[in-house]
A and B are shown apart, each in its own frame.
Chain A
């Protein structure tokens, strides 16, 4: 059901992104803001590194007992009058939500930001069923107007400039005066606030995601800055939470540990503005809150990741730090990754969710610089897992012929050290002689990818290995 992936065309997407001047202008904000803010927040809390260990351990413990914590969570939600629905696939998840909407005659649905909704392709399905679905997070609202997917998991409209938002608002909000001033970001925000306020107050159903599901209390937790998620979940008569299985955590104490690393890693705040704990439907004395409370738990391949080499990925708390620190993401943005999840976490997760054939290109979108793992609040070994995928891609003969033959050619020599040394000695000497006059090569057969953009310096005449041998002998 979810959006058709273009991840298999990552290379083409990336080329296009590099040529897109307005995208390149917008991406500067990612580099400039997120990195410094996270560093400052981490530096301000002496316990931050210990909290990352703690967060990792909590997630590992939960995953090792996931069946039992899900049962405990579900029992608690039911006890309080809520309902829990399980969905094996994205399509099943969509069908459950559509059924709930149809049975209640819902015409308008407000939505808090949810990556699971993107994964399920829920908006398209609701629209197709004649139900108005309104994204209420400002960034999500902007990209919904533009008919786009998010390009970042916590800053969905990070690829868009202010002028583009103004154009979109003028096109969509035709009931407002044409000569209004929208030159300042604050005016755009004010307009969105006004337009969406009516939607909040008139929605039949509110759908949110969840950052955490607390087994101890049967609580769903959302973390936002705008307050849109809260208006989505407290105003309509029905609240539907959509979340993947691994969002469950044991206790409120465990939730506190994870909250302490989440916002700091994401935006550099100590805490996001609103962290809301919702437990069941409204109670008999309550003056507000939803009358019905439903949770849709989505598997979509996650149960098979447990116990395998990609299990660590299920620790992810969706903070976005890996993409905020990724040189590849900085260069091409999120859309080039071609599906729901971009950046390093997307490069690992996408092939597990949509298959190696569609998503297998993404693990190549890495320089293996290791910054993603360095900043991950739950210490996911992202580079290691990207290497696992590259191995699988190679094993399944999915990598391009040039890569395969090149590696086979190199392996032939690498397995025969004497031959390798001989061949490289001859090669380096030959290049040294040929390049002596200019000291560099502007063109070289089989190295066009290099020399198209810069010259190759001419070798000094001896390989590293032979120089090492000569110097070792001299030292003795």
Chain B
């Protein structure tokens, strides 16, 4: 008997079942297809403007910096300003996200690089799939548009999130994911990011910038 069969047999013996019982199988099938929601906190709920405000407050509680701009066209200038004021070089790596590609980068002096990061980039920008108001969390999906390496390797991670993509809770992210990828399907990597990387492993002192980005800067775009 394989380890797999032995383990499943042990489980069934302990539970006093055979695995063939129709009601149990039905219970499991229904749970997997219907995916019932449990308790969703009231905190993130509300009108779009209220949700965006909560998202901003919660993200800042997690030590992210957040700036609002009126439209997508303002994003390159805002990022250039942020890098300049933080005394960082005017370089920026990004994927092929069409929303980012459509922005007027030429109006800035930013030196752009495209594709996955190999660990030699100081600054990276991604477009978020969603922002979650209840905890100020960003949801980022992997792919050519937004390579996962950009979320972790650069020292400074800038994330653009459109106000229309700010949702109340994690359950709303699942709903939107299913609409894009299909029920039961996921992008290869989905990252929930809440603030910049940190560690408290030395004497419980909280320090930012462990292995991931030292800074997380969120640019909220009001239109769209």
CA distance A201 to B118 in the complex (A): 8
Asked if B115 lies at the interface with its beta carbon under 8 angstroms from chain A, I say: yes
Digit string of A358-373 for contact with B (CB within 8 Å is 1, else 0)? Answer: 0000000000000000
CB pair A29 B203 closer than 8 Å: yes
Q: Which of A46, A190, A286, A287: most chain B CB closer than 10 A? A: A287
CB pair A189 B192 closer than 8 Å: no
Query: Which residues from chain B contact A278 at a C-beta distance below 8 Å?
Result: 188-189
CB pair B170 A256 closer than 8 Å: yes
Query: What's the least CB distance linking B218 to chain A, in Å?
Result: 14
Interface positions of B from 135 to 162, Cβ below 8 Å from A: 135-137, 142-144, 147-149, 151-153
CB pair A251 B190 closer than 8 Å: no
Asked if A380 lies at the interface with its beta carbon under 8 angstroms from chain B, I say: no
Q: Are A45 and B192 also in contact (CB < 8 A) when A225-B198, A287-B95 are?
A: no
Query: Which residues from chain A contact B189 at a C-beta distance below 8 Å?
Result: 234, 276-279, 289
Q: Which of A68, A201, A283: most chain B CB closer than 10 A? A: A68
Asked if B191 lies at the interface with its beta carbon under 8 angstroms from chain A, I say: yes
Query: What's the least CB distance linking B38 to chain A, in Å?
Result: 4
Stretch of A97-105, A116-124, A264-272, A401-409 on the interface side: A264-272
Contact of B207 among A47, A185, A231, A252 (CB under 8 A): A185
Asked if B106 lies at the interface with its beta carbon under 8 angstroms from chain A, I say: no
CB pair B190 A227 closer than 8 Å: no
Query: What's the least CB distance linking B55 to chain A, in Å?
Result: 12
Query: Which residues from chain B contact A270 at a C-beta distance below 8 Å?
Result: 58, 61-62, 134-136, 194
Asked if A217 lies at the interface with its beta carbon under 8 angstroms from chain B, I say: yes
Query: Which residues from chain A contact B202 at a C-beta distance below 8 Å?
Result: 138, 142, 157, 162, 165, 185, 188-189
Query: What's the least CB distance linking A476 to chain B, in Å?
Result: 53
Contact of B184 among A189, A216, A269, A277 (CB under 8 A): A216
Query: What's the least CB distance linking B186 to chain A, in Å?
Result: 4
CB pair A251 B31 closer than 8 Å: yes
Asked if B98 lies at the interface with its beta carbon under 8 angstroms from chain A, I say: no
CB pair B31 A305 closer than 8 Å: no
Interface positions of B from 165 to 195, Cβ below 8 Å from A: 169-171, 174, 177, 184-195
Nearest B residue to A307 via CB reads: B14
Query: Which residues from chain B contact A281 at a C-beta distance below 8 Å?
Result: 188
Query: What's the least CB distance linking A90 to chain B, in Å?
Result: 12
CB pair A286 B211 closer than 8 Å: no
Asked if B87 lies at the interface with its beta carbon under 8 angstroms from chain A, I say: no
Query: Which residues from chain A contact B28 at a C-beta distance below 8 Å?
Result: 65, 68-69, 72, 250
Contact of A286 among B14, B142, B212 (CB under 8 A): B142
Nearest B residue to A289 via CB reads: B188
CB pair A219 B186 closer than 8 Å: yes
CB pair A252 B10 closer than 8 Å: no
Query: Which residues from chain A contact B170 at a C-beta distance below 8 Å?
Result: 252, 256, 259
Interface positions of A from 68 to 101, Cβ below 8 Å from B: 68-72, 76, 86-88, 92
Q: Are A67 and B147 also in contact (CB < 8 A) when A216-B184, A250-B28 are?
A: no
Chain B residues bordering chain A, tally (CB within 8 A): 83
Asked if A280 lies at the interface with its beta carbon under 8 angstroms from chain B, I say: yes
Q: Are A256 and B212 also in contact (CB < 8 A) when A158-B204, A234-B148, A289-B188 are?
A: no
Query: Which residues from chain B contact A136 at a C-beta distance below 8 Å?
Result: 211
CB pair A193 B188 closer than 8 Å: no
Query: Which residues from chain B contact A33 at a C-beta distance below 8 Å?
Result: 200, 204
Asked if B199 lies at the interface with its beta carbon under 8 angstroms from chain A, I say: yes
CB pair A51 B201 closer than 8 Å: no
Pairs A–B under 8 Å by Cβ, sample size 20? A26-B203, A29-B203, A33-B204, A46-B41, A47-B42, A51-B38, A68-B24, A88-B7, A138-B201, A157-B201, A226-B211, A250-B31, A250-B32, A256-B169, A267-B200, A274-B192, A285-B143, A286-B144, A287-B95, A306-B11
Residue positions of A touching B, CB distance < 8 A? 26, 29-30, 32-33, 45-47, 50-51, 54, 58, 61, 64-72, 76, 86-88, 92, 136-139, 142, 155-158, 161-162, 165, 185-186, 188-190, 193, 196-197, 200-201, 215-217, 219, 225-228, 230-231, 234-235, 245, 250-254, 256-257, 259-260, 267, 269-283, 285-289, 297, 299, 303-308
Residue positions of B touching A, CB distance < 8 A? 2-4, 6-8, 10-12, 14-17, 19, 24-25, 27-28, 31-32, 35-43, 58, 61-62, 95, 115-116, 118-119, 134-137, 142-144, 147-149, 151-153, 169-171, 174, 177, 184-205, 207, 209-213
Interchain residue pairs A-B with the least CB separation, the first 4: A227-B212, A226-B210, A139-B201, A303-B10
